[in-house]
Structure formats: C-alpha cells, structure tokens
Amino acid sequence: MRLLLCVLAFCSPLRAEDTSSAGLAAQLQPFVERHTLAGAVTLVADKTRVLDLSAVGYADIAQNQAMRPDQVVWIASMTKAITAAAVMTLVDEGKLSLEDPIEKYLPEFRDLWVAAESDETHRLLKRPSTKITIRQCLCHTSGMPFASPMEKPTLDALTLRECTLSYAMTPLLHEPGSKYQYSNAGINTAGRIIEVVSGQPYEVFLQKRILDPLKMTDTTYWPSEEQLSRLAKPYKPNAEKNGLEATTISQLTYPLHERTRQPMPAGGLFATATDVSHFCQMLLADGMFDGQKILSPAAVQALSSRQTEPGLPENYGLGVSVSENSFGHGGALSTNMTIDKKHGLVLVYLVQHAGYANSDGGQIQPTFQKAAIERFGKK
C-alpha cells in the first residue's frame, strides 16, 4: 500500500506557498516500497514561508500507521544547535564570552588531568597546559570524551550538576584545542553553564529564551501523552539485512514522559518538522523570527562559522557542522536539518532509523535535498 500524506504548513505561523502538487516526500516512496525506509517527514522553507511539508511511509509498520506531517520524533544531537543558540543569547547580553574558561563558572574543572601517554596496561596523566573554553565545549575541541563512565546505561540519568562533576573527574583525551573529539560532555557542560549564569534550570531557560519565542510548541524533553500518540517508532535493519524491525531509543530511559529523566543539552529533545523549521528559519534570517529578534546577526554568524582551531581538518561551528554554503546537524536516528545559505532554504528531514538495511539508505536524504533545491532553490 502506498502511503503519502501531504500538507502545506498547516501548523506554521508563517505563510505557506499555495500549491496543490504532491509534496517532496513522494520522492522517497521507492525507498519505502523496497523496505529500506519506514517513513519520513520532509519540510522545505525559506526565511518566512514553509514551501513544502509532507510525509511518506509509516510511523508504525506493524500497526499500519501512516507517517503524518506533525509526527513527533527524537531529534537527538540536533539538540546541540539549539543549546548553542541558548548560550549565544547570553553572549549577546554580555553575560559570558565564548573565550571564558569553563572553570570560571564551574570550579570543579580547575584540577583537570589529561592523558599524556597510554597503552593497554597503563595511562600516564599530566595537567593540561591550557584551560578549556566555552567555545571549545561547543565545537568539540575541549578534549572531553563523548561521555563519562558514570553516564550508563542511559544518557539521561544524571542532573547537569552531576554530569559536570563526572566530567571533571574523567581525564581529558587530549589537550584542549589540539584535536576534534565529538563530545556530548562538552555540550552538556555548556548547558550547565547556562544554569549557573542565568540562575535558572537549563530546560526553563531554553523554554523561555528559545522554544517559546520560536513557537516550538511540540519541542520537549518529556513528550506528553498526546505527543507520545504522535511519536514515530524507531527502526533498525533486521538480522537478514533485507528489511526493518522495530527497536527502542537505547540512549534514553523509558517511560519517556517521566520527569525523573534529566534534560540532556547534547541530545535529548523531541520535536516536529515544523518546530525544527522555525529554529532554522531564525538562523537563516540572521536571528529574526516572526518579527522578533532571537539572536543578533553576530551571534548567528559565530554559530554558523568554523570555530574549530586552525590546522584541524574538521569544520564545526557552535553546535553545528559547517561548510562553505550551508550548516546544520544530524541526529542519532538519521534526522537532519540543513540551512542552505546558497539557495536560501531550510531543509528538514525527519526519520527514526538506527541504520539502514542496505546501501540505499545513504541515498534517501540526498534524494530529498536534491529535489528540494531543484524545485525551490534560488537560481
């Protein structure tokens, strides 16, 4: 059965293009029919309008439940960019600087150790020669590992205060600024600094300064009962690698609505395509959304420009990967948001896949993006 749902910005506060043609998600139907893709929601927007919002395939294959345009998904590490934007609101206000050492706000980081050399039987530690900065936390050059040994079996069990204490007790993998090492710990540390500087819990600050002004009404760490009814089921390749089987989000604690779960600045948010597009539209519009200033143009420029140290091969901004003409971020279950500056577009691609059964999986997102640029991109 072919499933295709198309809607044009029915839930966006900004004007949608009036078109009756099939949504771009239809381009992905062949992947659904080959059992490579369960389902997807795709969205294309410019600075002020949602140009296309459509869905294809299934949110729940076993229940024959169609993917819908307002499907809720775990956006995972796309959260990093939203946390970075929250930090930049404080930079805009002069309450902190990206060059501030994190120990200025978190004294537990004053006595760090870094690995000097190691092998299978021992590890020699020394004091780092430089201090970790907020900038390095946000661009993954702090030297911190992905997570601390205490963040098991899930990543949402510790408070941010407990997280940063555990990071401070964990030796750095390398000198700050010397290498790129993708690190949830660094982003979570930035989230904790938000708490210290603002005097508010991270999630409260995020709600007031980012989510509410951007009308991201379905973005949360704790999906409500109604939002859970719209939550897409995650899938992974089956044992035979010829299809899909349902799975769970192994990084998070169930039940997902339970408030004993801790908000994770590096990757805990759930959202819809429309909500994600509001955040991306703000960045594409130099910090403005619906007539309101969220960030300064300078803050957006800093966030979306290379911040990794000279000489490193990786191009990473503040919570986003950057290239010459675009920036954005993906998530653990294959979600992605891209702000395409060259073509003046926001591209949101939401799926829930812990890998794909065959090489076709790597062609799904590019198929959507190519179709979006061909149809809507600035010529």
Is the separation of the CB atoms in 324 and 343 below 8 Å?
no
Q: What is the largest CA-CA distance in the chain?
A: 66
Q: Say if CB 349 and CB 42 are below 8 A apart.
A: yes
Tens digit of each residue's pLDDT (9 = 90 or more) over 185-209: 999 999 999 999 999 999 999 999 9
Model confidence at 357, pLDDT cuts 50, 70, 90, reads confident
Terminal C-alpha separation, the chain: 37
SS3 63: coil
Residue 12: φ, ψ to 5°: -95, 140
Domain positions in the chain are 4-80+204-376, 95-201
pLDDT digits (tens, 9 = 90+) for 39-93: 999 999 999 999 999 999 999 999 999 999 999 999 999 999 999 999 999 999 9
At residue 4 the predicted structure's pLDDT band, cuts being 50, 70 and 90, is very low
- Look at residue 144 in the predicted model and tell me its pLDDT: 98
Q: Is the pLDDT of residue 6 over 70?
A: no
Q: What is the pLDDT of residues 148-180, one digit of tens each?
A: 999 999 999 999 999 999 999 999 999 999 999
d(CA 109, CA 106): 6
Provide the b/e sequence for 364-379 (b: ≥16 CB within 10 Å).
bbebbbebbbeebbee
Q: Facing residues of 231 across strands?
A: 72
What per-residue confidence (pLDDT) applies to 14? 39
Structure confidence at residue 207 (pLDDT): 99
What span, in angstroms and rounded, lies between the C-alpha atoms of 124 and 28? 51
DSSP 171: P
Q: Which two tokens stand for residue 318?
A: 């503040």
- What is the band of 22 on the pLDDT scale with cuts at 50, 70, 90? low
> What is the pLDDT at residue 117?
80
* CA–CA distance, 118 with 172 (Å, rounded to integer): 12
d(CA 106, CA 185): 14
User: Which CA distances in Å does 325 have to 95, 259, 315?
Assistant: 31, 40, 12
User: What are the Cα distances from residue 14, in Å, to 9, 270, 290, 321?
Assistant: 8, 22, 7, 27
CATH C-level class of 4-80+204-376? alpha beta
Span 325-337, average pLDDT: 98
* Separation between Cα atoms, residue 50 and residue 43, nearest integer Å: 7
**Token pair for 122:** 């021992």
- Mean pLDDT, range 9-33, rounded to an integer: 63
| DSSP 3-state of 172 | strand
**What tens digit of pLDDT does each residue of 270-312 get?**
999 999 999 999 999 999 999 999 999 999 999 999 999 999 9
Kindly state the average pLDDT of the residues 1-22.
39
pLDDT tens per residue, range 229-274? 999 999 999 998 888 999 999 999 999 999 999 999 999 999 999 9
- Mean pLDDT lowest for which of 12-16, 159-163, 320-324? 12-16
